[in-house]
Amino acid sequence: MKLTLIGNGIMAQSLARGLVKNHEVEMIGRNENTLKTIQEQIPQITIKTLDDQENIEGKNIIFCVKPYALGSVSTRLVGECDILFSILAGTKLSSLKNQIKSKYYVRTMPNIAASVQNSMTTITGDNEAKNIALDIFSSIGKTLWVNTENQLDIATAIAGSGPAYLALVAEALTDGAVNAGLERHLSKELVQGLFSGTASLLENSHPAIIKDSVMSPGGTTAAGYTKLEEGAVRDSMIKAINAAYSKAVELGKK
């Protein structure tokens, strides 16, 4: 299938890297030099600069600009596309419908791990486009169809923004090991292995079971865990997800 990415930022490039394996990918952006540089890195894509009257008739569009740019870009689009896939955080289907003509509309929330074909992508929208959406986005990782935009906004907070939160944890753990006296390159390697092993465990086990199976009475884990609770890490995570979700809802009202 031919897919047209509008936008050439971090996410458009991440998606393109995975999508080219199974699809024909065109990338439309506003800066020719930027597009040429991207094409050198992802030679399978075709590139095109955004026209003032960009004809999207019959195309399958993946819209990848910032939410605030929806208005200014959509006024440059003419014709009716077949399916409009949006990756814009917060932006409602109704807002897309008001501004871009398409037969079907789909909202998706991939994450930055799309660049290594390991995104966790949540999807909602017109049921007629459900199977095709699941098929396209499964080429960049795991997919989950949800039935409401509210669920997608919550998924934005956890799976869209989440890589930044886990990266913070990874960085902090590395700093902790360095603080205890371990060389940084060794600390980084340990943390990478730790995340990969814990991800495998989480595939089959409840987090509480993993925690209980690690924590010996009066042991090292219990000593460290107490400090995490003192630092209100659990409370901070819950508040972070709530703040990100609220921001997604707020973006949808603009």
User: What are the residues binding ligand NDP (CB under 6 A)?
Assistant: 7-12, 29-31, 34, 64-67, 69, 72-73, 87-89, 109-112, 160
Is position 8 annotated in a ligand binding site?
yes
- Our finding on whether 13 is near ligand A1CAB (CB under 6 A) is no
CB 19 within 8 A of CB 140: yes
The residue number whose beta carbon is nearest to ligand A1CAB equals: 160
d(CA 26, CA 73): 17
Q: Which stretch binds ligand A1CAB (CB under 6 A): 39-47, 155-163, 218-226, 229-237?
A: 155-163
CB 140 within 8 A of CB 24: no
110 binds, among ligand NDP, ligand A1CAB, none (CB under 5 to 8 A by kind): ligand NDP
Q: Write down the H helix ranges in 128-161.
A: 130-137, 149-155
The residue number whose beta carbon is nearest to ligand NDP equals: 9
168 binds, among ligand NDP, ligand A1CAB, none (CB under 5 to 8 A by kind): none
- Our finding on whether 133 is near ligand A1CAB (CB under 6 A) is no
133 binds, among ligand NDP, ligand A1CAB, none (CB under 5 to 8 A by kind): none
For residue 89, give the nearest of 254, 239, 211, 235 by alpha carbon: 254
Is position 6 annotated in a ligand binding site?
yes
Token digits for 51?
């026209």
Size, binding site for ligand A1CAB by CB under 6 A: 4
Place of tokens 């921001």: 247
Place of tokens 């992802």: 42
For residue 83, give the nearest of 71, 72, 97 by alpha carbon: 97
Residue by residue, DSSP assigns 21-34 as TTSEEEEEES-HHH
Is position 7 annotated in a ligand binding site?
yes
| Interface ranges with ligand A1CAB (CB under 6 A) | 89, 156, 160-161
Residues making up the binding site for NADP(+): 6-11
